[in-house]
Amino acid sequence: MSGPLFDRWSALKAELPATARLLAVSKGHPAEAIRELAESGQRHFGESRVQEALPKQDQLADLSLSWHFIGRLQSNKVRSVVRAFPVIHSVDSLPLAQRVSRIAGEEEQRPEVLLQVKLRPDTNKGGFLRDELLSAWPELAALPSMTVVGLMTMAPMGCEADDRQALFQECRELADQLELGECSMGMSGDWREAAAAGSTWLRLGSVLFGPRPSASPPAG
Ligand SMILES: *Cc1c(COP(=O)(O)O)cnc(C)c1O
Residue ranges making up the domain that contains 101: 4-209
Cα 78 to middle of ligand 1, angstroms:
20
Residue 89 backbone dihedrals phi, psi, to 5 degrees: -95, -5
> Average pLDDT of 191-196?
96
Atom of ligand 1 at shortest range from CA of 208:
9
Atom of ligand 1 at shortest range from CA of 189:
7
Atom of ligand 1 at shortest range from CA of 216:
1
Max alpha carbon distance in the chain (Å)?
Answer: 50
pLDDT of residue 212: 84
- For residue 147, being part of any structural domain is answered with yes
Cα 106 to middle of ligand 1, angstroms:
30
Model pTM score:
0.95
* 56, 17 contact by CB (below 8 A): no
Q: Cβ < 6 Å from ligand 1: which residues?
A: 25, 27, 48, 70-71, 187-189, 203-207, 219-220
- For residue 134, being part of any structural domain is answered with yes
* Residue among 23, 187, 193 whose CB has most ligand 1 atoms within 8 A, to mutate: 187
> Average pLDDT of 16-39?
96
- For residue 149, being part of any structural domain is answered with yes
When divided into structural domains, the chain yields a total of: 1
**Residue 117 DSSP label:** B
- For residue 64, being part of any structural domain is answered with yes
pLDDT of residue 42: 97
**Residue 205 DSSP label:** S
pLDDT of residue 203: 98
Residue 176 backbone dihedrals phi, psi, to 5 degrees: -60, -40
CA gap 214, 174 in Å, rounded: 36
CA gap 60, 108 in Å, rounded: 23
- For residue 218, being part of any structural domain is answered with no
- pLDDT band of 219, cuts 50, 70, 90: low
User: CA 8, 185, 155, 67: dihedral to nearest 10 degrees?
Assistant: 80
Q: What is the CATH number of the domain that holds 29?
A: 3.20.20.10
Q: How do strand 112-116 and strand 147-152 relate by DSSP bridges?
A: parallel
Cα 31 to middle of ligand 1, angstroms:
17
- CA-nearest residue for atom 6, ligand 1, is 205
- For residue 216, being part of any structural domain is answered with no
- For residue 217, being part of any structural domain is answered with no
CA-nearest of 211, 214, 184 to 197 is 184
- For residue 220, being part of any structural domain is answered with no
Cα 56 to middle of ligand 1, angstroms:
18
pLDDT, one tens digit per residue, over 31-64 is 999 999 999 999 999 999 999 999 999 999 999 9
Residue 24 backbone dihedrals phi, psi, to 5 degrees: -80, 110
In the predicted structure, residue 217 carries a pLDDT above the cut 60: no
Question: Which range has the worst mean pLDDT, 1-15, 108-122, 129-143?
Answer: 1-15
In the predicted structure, residue 145 carries a pLDDT above the cut 80: yes
pLDDT of residue 129: 97
CA gap 185, 66 in Å, rounded: 18
pLDDT of residue 33: 96
Give the gyration radius of the chain's Cα atoms.
Answer: 17
Q: Which residues pair with 89 in a beta bridge?
A: none
* 147, 110 contact by CB (below 8 A): yes
